[in-house]
Each structure stands twice: as structure tokens, then as C-alpha cells.
Amino acid sequence: MCGRYASTLPPEMMVELFRLLKGVEVVPRYNIAPTQPIVAIWEQEGRREAHFARWGLVPGWVKDPREFPLLVNARVETMAEKPAFRDALKHGRCIIPASGYYEWHTNPDKTKQPYFITMANDRPMALAGLYASWMGPNGEEIDSVATITVPANPQLSEIHDRMPAILDGEAIENWLNVRDVRAHHAAQLALPLEDGALKFHPVSTRVNSARDDDAGLIEKVEVQKPEPRPRKVAGGGQLDLF
């Protein structure tokens, strides 16, 4: 599960890399947490723009977002079936620019060690996501997103059994093209990256607090190498009701 990430890409570079018609002004963030506003990119009527959206998807059919569970991640295995995600998979696909993300390894003594995970070539990440727009009875509107998770590749399974779906090149184009690429074919783009595509290092447990947000959070600290985790059978997980 991806529950924290960093995004330090300058706005002008984001416009260039992702071919945006319109960007947004942002500052470097090192500890982005659920429920916070994040930058997401999607296409509408052929226009690809960056938007601010709440991290935690709220489907349009929800009556009161305050009474709805927090949907931070959508599992690739079940997102096409669950009412909370299936419409967004058809019409609301997006990407979330990131510099890297955090994951926690559970040690034998049940303590958890955070790791910062980045692309091995140091390029920015494009996390696959889903977005929805909720309209309230008084005209209020909430744009919200969820990131998509896939089974971890063997390299990342040393830390956790899940990882975010990370897109690149033509996969980004097809994922965002909701006009021509059907949900079934788009879902096949959300795959684990191959071994060696990512690198990771342990970081301070300060990242556990969303109140901390500084460049020191992504710096390497010295800890013992994590013991390999047993692979889990797919299925179960977050909010199977939806």
C-alpha cells in the first residue's frame, strides 16, 4: 500500500515532462499524506491539465463524504468490479507525479522501518490513479483521487507485498486516454515494475508524522537490512465491501 510520498518536481518541469496545457503552482513536498490536497493530471476533452485533488477518493454517488470510508488505494485485481472504482476506471483515470514514495517494513519485533523508494534512473514517477468529482447539494465540489496498487515485484517484496502502479512512456498516454482506451485495456497497463527499475533506502521514522515535511525525511539512515517477507496470496485487503 502506498500511503505517503514525496513530490519535488518544479511546475515548469512537470508541464514539459507530462505535456500539460496547464500546470499548477506547487512547492516541494516530502511527506504527502492521505486527505491532503495533491497534484493529479487528467485529460478532459483532449486537454491535459494538472489539478489539485483530495487524496482519498469520493465517488459521485456518495451522499455525505464525511460518512464515507477513506479510499486511498485501489487494488488492481478488484478495481474494475467495485462500485467505488469501476466508473473512475472507465472515465476518470489520472496520474500523480511523484519523486518517490515511502513504504514500511515490519521487523521481527513488530517495529516498522520506513523506506524511501525511487526510480533507479532518478526520473520522476507517474503513479497510476483514479479520480472522481463529487457535487454537494449546495453546489460544493470535491475532486478526489486514489492511487492504484499492484503486487510487489520480487525486489520490493523484501519490504512490502504491494507497490503502486508506476507508468511510463506510451503507458501514460494510453492510461490518460479515456476516450479511446477502454477500461479493460487500461487495467492491463497497471503492472509491477521489473526488478532493478527501483531503488530504496531506509529513512528516519520522523516520516511517521505527517506534520514533518522537510528534505531530511528522504535522507538515508543506517539500519539492518530487512529480512525477506513471505509472498502473500492475492485477495482480501482494503474495504472489500466496495
The verdict on whether 2 is a catalytic residue reads yes
Tallying the residues shown for the chain, one arrives at 242
Among 49, 77, 103, 140, the one annotated catalytic: 103
What nine digits make up the cell of 175? 492510461
**For residues 119 and 101, what is the distance between their CA atoms, to the nearest angstrom?**
10
The verdict on whether 77 is a catalytic residue reads no
Among 2, 81, 94, 227, the one annotated catalytic: 2
- State the Cα torsion 28-130-172-175 to the nearest 10°: -170
Report which of 45, 39, 32, 43 is spatially closest to residue 101, judged by C-alpha positions: 32
Q: What is the DSSP string of 51-114?
A: EEEEES---TT-S-GGGS----EEETTTTTTSHHHHHHHHH-EEEEEESEEEEEEEPTTS-EEE
Say if CB 56 and CB 144 are below 8 A apart.
yes
Catalytic residues: 2, 103
